[in-house]
A = this chain, B = another copy of it.
Amino acid sequence: MDTKHRILDEALTLFSEKGYANVYVNDIAERVGIKAPSLYKHYKNKQAIFDAIIDEMNNRFMEQAGALNINGMDPTKDADIYKNMNEESMIELGKNLFLYYLHDDYTKRFRKMLTIEQFHDKELANVYQQQYYEMPLSYQSMLLGLMVAQGVLSTDNVPIMTLHFYAPIYLLLTVCDREPGREEEALKTLEEHLRQFDKLYGRTIE
């Protein structure tokens, strides 16, 4: 990885731990293994580093049209998978979603950074909103919608069902971001949530 990119990487790590204002260009340089003034050969100033991180993230986001597409397949193909689904595979889906969000290094650091910086300006608030509200809900709505169409789930209000699916996942995610030690506990809760979700919305029980 070239220096220019390593700067972004280390900066993101630091920003996600302490927030932009509490990270010194010195810290970043040190981690990269160069001296602070050398940073300026690559970026105009500290703010430019931050901006570049946001840009990079926007690019990734464009490319895969949503980090939620875990399988790296396009949504219409995913559909096949959900045709013959049962409780267990549904639980797997939720868990994988959660674990992806939780462990994917880039995603995790970016989310934490955004959590800290979201109130700084409208644009950042918007990015957060897109990443952790609009996108997940709309993508999952599509998937769960397919499952409704397949008769695996049943509801007359897919968006709200999706909210019921996603909101607990999101909440548990924030818990783990704050206290990584609670991951196991969260995973247990997550599983109970998914099982209950299936009981509530699943057709198989009736």
A164 contacts the other chain (CB 8 A) = yes
B164 near A120: Cβ-Cβ < 8 Å: no
Decide: A119 and B17 in contact? CB cutoff 8 A. Answer: yes
Near B by CB (< 8 A), chain A positions 1-31 give 16-19, 21-22
Interface stretch (choices A59-67, A87-95, A192-200): A192-200
Rounded to whole angstroms, the CA-CA distance of A133 and B170 in the bound complex is 12
Interface string of A66-83 (1 = CB under 8 A from B): 000000000000000000
Query: Once bound together, how far apart are the Cα atoms of A115 and B115, in whole Å?
Result: 7
Which of A36-44, A141-149, A155-163 has 4 or more CB atoms under 8 Å from chain B? A155-163
The CA of A155 and the CA of B195, in the complex, are separated in Å by 13
How far is A118 from B161 in the complex, measured between Cα atoms in Å? 30
Q: Is A34 an interface residue (CB 8 A)?
A: no
Contact (Cβ within 8 A) B175 A171? no
* Interface pair B196/A161, CB less than 8 Å apart: yes
Which of B128, B163, B166 makes the CB contact (< 8 A) with A189?
Answer: B163
Q: Is A179 an interface residue (CB 8 A)?
A: yes
Cα separation A22 to B121 with both chains bound (whole Å): 13
Residue A33 lies at the interface, judged by CB distance under 8 Å to chain B = no
Is A125 among interface residues, defined by CB-CB distance under 8 A?
yes
Please determine whether B175 and A133 come into contact, CB atoms closer than 8 angstroms: yes
Residues of B within 8 A of A193 (CB): 160, 163-164
Whether B128 contacts A178 by the Cβ 8 Å rule is yes
* Interface contact B19-A119, CB-CB below 8 Å: yes
For residue A171, which residues in chain B have a CB less than 8 angstroms away from its CB?
133, 163, 166-167, 170-171
- Note all chain B residues with C-beta closer than 8 A to A201: 200
* Interface 1/0 per residue, A93-134 and B, CB below 8 Å: 000000000000000000010011011100001101100010
User: 9 A–B contact pairs at CB < 8 A?
Assistant: A19-B119, A118-B178, A125-B179, A129-B179, A133-B171, A159-B192, A161-B196, A167-B168, A171-B171
